[in-house]
């Protein structure tokens, strides 16, 4: 398993790439993979070259459960799983993700010691000092925002590019943490309808991006 980028900026994007290979002499009737994300990681998407995956638990810090199907032997007995997400603003830190194949030892193997992998990512908050100097701490407080009646905009589209995606969620989190002082379309930011800009709005955008919501509540 690998992570990119590493080091990663606090509040930025992070992607994990996992390769599963059967290097034994016998085929496997089924292969299960469990991925455990760091608490500061929020899923924005995932893909697998074989089988199917599903998020288990919360979009932020939850797990990914993949049924990769049967594996033969040789070069074709490989699966590539990609997990993409956004980091919550956490400052300087080191975070850890793990992936485990056949986590409950259902399949008899000649080697049970090579079924897991770990990725440690260094997170840095290099933007914090600049953002703090440019904007007072008070900008991190959730602020009521009333969208203009004549320009309702697209809910969740905080960067005014006519699309709602993980970049919008990252910008909301950076605003709430005080790393940036304003949003280009702040009137579109409060996605849960409570009239404030906070981390809950970012989580709803990420859930919509991951396909867990058909529409945003607000």
Q: Does the pLDDT of residue 151 top 70, yes or no?
A: no
Q: Which residue has the higher pLDDT, 149 or 184?
A: 184
Structural contact between residues 37 and 62, judged by C-beta atoms closer than 8 angstroms: yes
pTM as predicted: 0.60
Mean pLDDT across the stretch 148-157?
Answer: 61
The burial of 33, by beta-carbon neighbours within 10 Å (0-12 exposed, 13-18 middle, 19 or more buried), is given as buried
Let me know the angle formed at the C-alpha of 43 by 40 and 49, rounded to the nearest 5 degrees. 135
Strand order in the sheet with 78-87: 2-4, 13-21, 78-87, 41-48
What is the Cβ-side half-sphere exposure of residue 69, based on CA atoms within 13 angstroms?
A: 11
- DSSP code for 60: B
Looking at every residue in the chain, the average pLDDT score rounds to 82
Q: Distance between CA atoms of 35 and 56, rounded to whole angstroms?
A: 10
């Amino acid at each position: 398993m690998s992570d990119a980028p590493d080091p990663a900026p606090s509040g930025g994007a992070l992607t994990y790439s996992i390769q599963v290979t059967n290097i034994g002499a016998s085929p496997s009737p089924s292969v299960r993979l469990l991925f455990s994300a760091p608490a500061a990681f929020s899923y924005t998407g995932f893909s697998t070259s074989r089988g199917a995956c599903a998020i288990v638990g919360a979009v932020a810090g939850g797990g990914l459960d993949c049924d990769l199907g049967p594996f033969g032997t040789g070069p074709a007995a490989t699966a590539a799983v990609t997990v993409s997400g956004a980091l919550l603003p956490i400052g300087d830190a080191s975070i850890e993700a793990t992936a485990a194949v056949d986590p409950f030892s259902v399949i008899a193997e000649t080697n049970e010691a090579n079924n897991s992998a770990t990725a440690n990512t260094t997170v840095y908050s290099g933007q914090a000092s600049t953002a703090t100097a440019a904007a007072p701490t008070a900008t991190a407080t959730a602020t009521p925002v009333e969208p203009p009646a004549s320009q309702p905009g697209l809910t969740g589209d905080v960067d005014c590019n006519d699309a709602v995606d993980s970049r919008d969620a990252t910008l909301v989190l950076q605003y709430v943490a005080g790393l940036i002082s304003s949003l280009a379309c702040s009137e579109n930011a409060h996605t849960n309808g409570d009239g404030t800009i906070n981390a809950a709005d970012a989580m709803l955008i990420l859930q919509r991006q991951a396909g867990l919501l058909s529409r945003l509540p607000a």
